[in-house]
Amino acid sequence: MDALIGWAIFAVTFVFPLLHVALTRDMMTRPDDGACPFSPRAGWLVLVLFLGPIGWLMFIHARHRRRRTARPPANA
């Protein structure tokens, strides 16, 4: 039972966030004048890999913030 709980915690805190970032369709595009050789997806994967659930929460927050600013106001 203890091993099962350990694997469940590992899956929820590292495997599922990595899969979510890796399989997300709506990903930010790389700027044309950017100097970074990595794509945004690779950058987010590294962040989630090192930071675990905190990196995943940062990814989710960045996606929702980008959607909110990209949408035009309803009253305009």
40, 51 contact by CB (below 8 A): no
Cβ contact 44:59 at 8 Å:
yes
Task: Tell me the whole-structure pTM to 2 decimals.
Answer: 0.68
Q: What is the pLDDT of residues 15-59, one digit of tens each?
A: 999 999 888 887 666 666 667 777 788 888 999 999 988 999 999
The per-residue pLDDT for 30 is 63
In a 3-state reduction of DSSP, which class is residue 31? coil
| Whether the predicted pLDDT of 12 surpasses 70 | yes
